[in-house]
Amino acid sequence: KRHGIALRQTYARQGPALSRKAGRYAHARQFKRMRQVLRRQRTLLGRVLRDLQRKLDQVEACVRERISVWLERVQR
């Protein structure tokens, strides 16, 4: 959003909520449920990543360089 890229869906609320959920499950030693939540987080992150990669060619080169640092981190 900061760089002028309109994503289909940002999952801005779901991401932090899932993170809290995973922490609660880990604390309660409910590791199977925690793994499900972590898998859901990875899925959402992959969706946002693919959407961003599709729209990256519409953006200026200087913005692409700034975003590339984050994309490398996500692809790990």
For the cut 80, the answer to whether the pLDDT of residue 59 exceeds it is no
Q: Which of 24, 58, 21, 55 is nearest to 41 (CA)?
A: 21
* Mean local confidence (pLDDT), 29-56: 94
User: Tokens 């409910």 label which residue?
Assistant: 30
pTM greater than the 0.85 cutoff: no
Distance CA 13, CA 3 (A): 20
Tokens of 43: 């899925």
Give tens-digit pLDDT for 1-28: 666 777 888 898 999 999 999 999 999 9
- Give the pLDDT of residue 30: 98
- Give the pLDDT of residue 1: 63
3 or 32, which is more confident = 32
Q: Are 52 and 70 in contact (CB under 8 A)?
A: no
